[in-house]
Structure 1
């Protein structure tokens, strides 16, 4: 790749001038068009009023659904805008009337919030949560999913395509094939995938997919989206706490759900963020998700190779495929302290703690790890600078 597009992406990203931002799995730096979309609508709300501003932008707001549909290979009627990926997950999971003894199959690497919510369902509703085994090299084994999901009480399968604490890319398509064969509803957490992996919901064969704007998609914080398949809509799936955007009150003791994925939305909307989400999707499509991912993956491979040369360092990412999330531990060093010191040098990373990936990190005997997540607008020099700084800190810092 030539320098021209990289320089252009960086010039359109004001934060690049001030920091080395390697926390794109947390919240990526927004490009100018995203920031402008948000601030312009806030200014319009201040000028003419919130309801009136939304009415004035009704065409642009509707276009966001078309943009999201293009991003994931669906139709706009299958897309809902939600507060974040976890909110979308809750809307999807509460669409199932779970009973004691019903089985949920998930993976050892699924996102912490979802693992906790599964445990809450187990404790409060008597649901049985089963974790599929990993492949020897890492990432969920679709055949283990098959064995567990054959249980006649299995109500759904959930997979975090890319975990928050690891660079492994789980075989979401392979799991989708298994779920389709067994006729089991399938939920995909694409929070860390969107923006770095091309998404085609037809290939995933999922009933639901959830994601957020702020990570590799480079959108604003506080908004996300979800996909609901035609079969989910046809089943009459709708969240337990559907509100007046997702349904109409048609009789004293009756409501009627919306025919589209709007049934998963709330009436209250941060329209400035919705427009920012649309701008982020258009920007990602203009860059090219595959191109963006390939460059980010290359920078991540560079980081892994350099980290491996630092004494007492373990690079933790496994799997047949790895993405732009890099995790590493440093013996008895507390990763949080390293992250703090890097921040003082204007280098953004974050720490993953044992309980963020409890099953995986316990097996690996890891208490904390640094998470480095480059994106396509980062440079090789930035990655090298960050790894060199980590090396100096590990060499000089006392163990915790």
Structure 2
């Protein structure tokens, strides 16, 4: 994201658009860019009906708003899997003449990702999430017209005659540990096919939602969330110590923005899901 922000030339007075409560790595670099270039950061608040896509489209096309300079978007909200439909949003960003930067952390490996369809200026994702890779490694896609910029670090590998997106490569590129781990994870995920992974994850999270009915936990409608993440919220907030009590039953989850985030991967089976449901029933 630092590389993307460093290689976008924008005029003062434009907007940087994103969703509220965005992941820090998609905020900090662009906050710095906005401060340096005189841009306005606009955060679209969480919609009451869970429809992020419609809320973002309204913000992009709002009459009288400052011109859109950059949209930093993700295919889903990282806290609870709320769908952010880039098939609808990317054309609107391009029509506004703005740059599109995509954080595909919560998508690559879990749902189809297609740079030919979305045409981002930059798209990045680490390998430690759905692609079953290691920490400390990430991949960056740069559109053809964004491949002759300046790297954020200089090394023998990315100086001329290196050309194209290789200009952005990190130093110590030939990592004998992380790269084979990442390649193995990618090969495994690709062997599953994205559509099969998405279908499996949808089955698991739908089973979770069905199983917690009656516990006072609510999720976004199924057509407004991605397959792999289920965010559950309670009207008065989650009960104190919920995560600790779940851990005592062998269930490990996270709290994100006041909601319980459950995100099984393809290695989870129906028995795992049912044990999670049983634990939630016991502690709630």
Q: Is the shorter-chain TM-score for this pair beyond 0.5, marking a shared fold?
A: yes
Q: Distance in 2 between matches of 1:322 and 1:185?
A: 24
Residues 174/316 of structure 1: CA separation in 2 closer, same or farther (3 Å cut): closer
Question: Contact 1:335/1:369 (CA < 8 Å) preserved in 2?
Answer: no
Q: What's the counterpart of residue 284 of structure 1?
A: 189
Between Structure 1 and Structure 2, whose CA radius of gyration is higher?
1
By percentage of residues, which structure has more helix? 1
Residues 169/275 of structure 1: CA separation in 2 closer, same or farther (3 Å cut): same
TM-score, length-scaled by structure 1: 0.63
For residue 194 of structure 1, report the CA deviation from its aligned partner: 0.9
Residues 219/275 of structure 1: CA separation in 2 closer, same or farther (3 Å cut): same
Q: Distance in 2 between matches of 1:319 and 1:138?
A: 9
TM-score, length-scaled by structure 2: 0.86
Deviations 1:125-152 (CA, angstroms, capped at 9, x unpaired): 5321123575954122353254259967
For residue 181 of structure 1, report the CA deviation from its aligned partner: 2.8
Q: Distance in 2 between matches of 1:177 and 1:297?
A: 26
For residue 237 of structure 1, report the CA deviation from its aligned partner: 3.0
For residue 186 of structure 1, report the CA deviation from its aligned partner: 1.0
Aligned counterpart in structure 2 of residue 296 of structure 1, from 201, 208, 222: 201
Aligned counterpart in structure 2 of residue 351 of structure 1, from 232, 255, 266: 255
Q: Distance in 2 between matches of 1:158 and 1:340?
A: 34
For residue 169 of structure 1, report the CA deviation from its aligned partner: 2.0
Question: Contact 2:6/2:150 (CA < 8 Å) preserved in 1?
Answer: yes
Question: Contact 2:237/2:259 (CA < 8 Å) preserved in 1?
Answer: no
What is the RMSD computed on CA atoms of the aligned residues? 2.8
Q: Distance in 2 between matches of 1:345 and 1:212?
A: 30
Q: Distance in 2 between matches of 1:217 and 1:96?
A: 28
Residues 27-42 of structure 1 correspond to what in structure 2 (within 5 A)? none
Q: Distance in 2 between matches of 1:139 and 1:152?
A: 21
Q: What's the counterpart of residue 232 of structure 2?
A: 328
Question: Contact 2:31/2:41 (CA < 8 Å) preserved in 1?
Answer: yes
Residues 1-400 of structure 1 correspond to what in structure 2 (within 5 A)? 89-98=1-10, 100-108=12-20, 110-123=22-35, 125-132=37-44, 136-141=49-54, 143-147=57-61, 153-233=67-147, 236-239=148-151, 241-245=152-156, 247-248=158-159, 256=160, 258-269=162-173, 270-310=175-215, 312-316=216-220, 320-330=224-234, 334=238, 337-352=241-256, 354=257, 368-394=258-284
Gaps of 5+ in 2: none
Deviations 1:89-123 (CA, angstroms, capped at 9, x unpaired): 11111112456424212233632432344444444
Gaps of 5+ in 1: 1-88, 249-255, 355-367, 395-400
Q: Distance in 1 between matches of 2:239 and 2:118?
A: 35
Aligned residues: 281
Question: Contact 2:204/2:264 (CA < 8 Å) preserved in 1?
Answer: yes
Q: Distance in 2 between matches of 1:332 and 1:370?
A: 13
